[in-house]
Amino acid sequence: MIKSLRGMNDILSEDYKRFTYFINTATKVAQRYGFHFIETPLLEETALFKRSVGESSDIVGKEMYQFIDKGQNDVCLRPEGTAGVVRAFIQKKLDKAGGAHRFFYHGSMFRYERPQKGRLRQFHQFGVESFGVNSVYEDVTMIMMVSDILKELGIGYRLQLNSLGDNNCMPDYRNKLVKFVKECEDDICEDCVRRLDTNPIRVLDCKNDKCQTIYDGAPKLLNNLCDSCDDDFSSLKKILQNNGIEYEIDTNLVRGLDYYSKTAFEFVSDNIGSQSAIAGGGRYDKLVEFLDGRPTPAVGFAIGIERLMELIVMPETSRDGYYIGAMDEEAVDLVMSLAHKKRKTDKVTIDYKAKNFKNHIKAADKICAKYFCIIGSNEMKDGNMIIKDLQNKTEIIIKQEEF
């Protein structure tokens, strides 16, 4: 038997219902905020991700589905959504057009990782990107949007906030931190020693308790922001407070992707195992410029759909559609015709076999039909049909031609 590849799942039945319910809800919210759908290719030039996500990240270093295509192009299945949207934004010259451009997208992302709870090789994200808006209000708008989506889905969360600074203050802070960590290099874990070379800021969210104890005394990102970043972060907190959105400050919250600056946020759930981040985002003012566009401030977020699938509280399903059953072999043709007619407007389920009344009504109940119709010898003779409302337990008799 041929099976799906590791970490690649089929979505059907109940999962598909939840999946589409999520997409529909998130789409509705994003549209209420004035965002427009954008679809970008699953396959992009490898260089796009190397330059945007950053060579130091594991995503680019070891998790990309990268290959040479038949035209000798070095290509990748996208590991995340922002890079492609930024590329499209620049390619369509929207950076030169000026003004605000706001997009949302959803689709498959690919990372060659060992699967575990809430992590797949092909997974789905819903994301939003806003270009051309410098204001910290837009950062708050992003957070509000995620919050609205999660609330509509009945999902509880904690919001964690940090500021990563900008080109002005981050490099100085990084140097301070490296200096501090190097002094205790002998006491920290292997991973942190490696991080010192690849991505020093990441030592901050090391899960090793011993490391964390050591880093308690390390210089804090939030105490080393320049005036502009510090002001923005204060405004951010104030606006959130004014709008009743609760948050926690986590100075150790860092983002794994190189392109983030200033506002960084993560929505986490305590009910889904160790991969607890269900949404993450922040500002990335330098990325457009970095990908050869005109300097354009930008902010966005992405939601990991699989991570919150089991948290979604589905609305109660109500009875829907018709079930039409035949009690005689001779009535099956008529049932087929009635169904064909009714299917122009309604959901209709039929059985091609003649059964007795009880079996048909059981079947109608099982598939949760709202209306139950039966054609037996009586109906064949008089041209009537019974329509029974299975919800209200009422029934009416109509002419078959009125059905």
Partner RNA sequence: GUGAGAUUAGCUCAGUUGGUUAGAGCACUGGUUUGUGGUGCCGGGGGUCGCGGGUUCGAAUCCCGUAUCUCACCCCA
5 vs 313 by CB, closer to RNA? 5
Instruction: For the CB of residue 253, give the shortest distance to RNA in the complex, in Å.
Output: 10
Instruction: Decide if residue 289 touches RNA (CB under 7 A).
Output: no
State which residue, 27 or 212, has the beta carbon closest to RNA: 212
CB of 403 to RNA, least distance (A): 14
Q: Is 280 in the site for RNA (CB under 7 A)?
A: yes
Torsion of CA 113, 214, 268, 245, to 10 degrees: -150
- Cβ–Cβ < 8 Å for 49, 76: yes
Q: Which residue number, 93 or 366, has a Cβ lying nearer to RNA?
A: 366
DSSP secondary structure letters along 49-92: HHHHT-TTSHHHHH---EEE-TT--EEEE-SSSHHHHHHHHHHT
- Which positions from 119 through 148 interact with RNA, judged by CB under 7 A? 119-120, 123, 125
Residue 5 phi/psi, 5-degree rounding, is -65, 155
Of 97 and 367, the one with the shorter C-beta distance to RNA is: 367
Token pair in block for residue 20 = 């589409």
Q: Which of 138, 232, 266, 285 binds RNA (CB under 7 A)?
A: 266
Host H or E run for residue 173:
helix 170-183
Contact segment (CB under 7 A) with RNA among 160-168, 226-234, 296-304, 335-343 equals 296-304
Check residue 250 for interaction with RNA (CB under 7 A).
no
DSSP calls for 274-289: S--EEEEEEE-TTHHH
Considering the rule CB under 7 A, would residue 107 count as an interface residue with RNA?
A: no
For 127, 146, 356, the CA distances from 302, given in Å and listed in that order, are 4, 9, 53
- The residue among 322, 402, 403 whose CA lies nearest residue 360 is 322
Q: Applying CB under 7 A, which of residues 52, 57, 163, 296 lies at the interface with RNA?
A: 57
Tokens coding 220 = 């804090």
- Interaction between residue 378 and RNA (CB under 7 A): yes
Nearby residues of 320 by Cβ (< 8 Å), 6 or more positions away: 347, 368, 369, 370
Choose which of 20, 213, 271, 377 interacts with RNA (CB under 7 A): 377
Which one among 43, 184, 245, 386 touches RNA, defined by CB under 7 A? 386
Question: Is 83 an interacting residue with respect to RNA (CB under 7 A)?
Answer: no
Binds RNA (CB under 7 A): choice among 76, 279, 287, 338? 279
Residue from 18, 50, 87, 111 in contact with RNA (CB under 7 A): 111
| Cβ–Cβ under 8 Å, residues 361 and 379 | no
Q: Any idea which residue has 């993560």 for tokens? A: 266
Stretch that binds RNA, among 51-59, 87-95, 148-156, 179-187 (CB under 7 A): 51-59
Contact between 58 and RNA by CB under 7 A: the answer reads yes
The radius of gyration of the chain from alpha carbons, rounded to an integer in Å, stands at 28
160 binds RNA (CB under 7 A): no
Query: Taking contact as CB under 7 A, which single stretch among the options 98-106, 213-221, 298-306, 342-350 is the one that binds RNA?
Result: 298-306
206 is a contact residue toward RNA (CB under 7 A): yes
Note whether 181 binds RNA by CB under 7 A.
no
The amino acid that residue 24 corresponds to is N
63 scored as a contact of RNA (CB under 7 A): yes
How far apart are the two ends of the chain, measured CA to CA in Å?
Answer: 46
273 is a contact residue toward RNA (CB under 7 A): yes
Distance of alpha carbon 30 from alpha carbon 103, whole angstroms: 9
Q: Restricting to residues 6-35, name those near RNA by CB under 7 A.
A: 6-7
- Dig out the tokens for 64 from the structure: 């990309």
With b for 16 or more beta-carbon neighbours within 10 A and e for fewer, the 113-139 pattern comes to: beeeebbbbbbbbbbbbbbbbeebebb
Q: How far is the CB of 68 from RNA (least distance, A)?
A: 20
Site track for RNA across 355-374, x = CB under 7 A: xxxxx-xx--xx-------x
Query: Please, which residue, 6 or 93, has the CB nearer to RNA?
Result: 6
DSSP summary character for residue 401 = G
**Contact set with RNA (CB under 7 A):** 3, 5-7, 57-59, 63, 80, 111, 113-120, 123, 125, 191, 195, 202, 206-208, 255-257, 266, 273-275, 277-280, 302-304, 306-307, 319, 327-328, 353, 355-359, 361-362, 365-366, 374, 376-379, 386, 388, 390-391, 393, 395
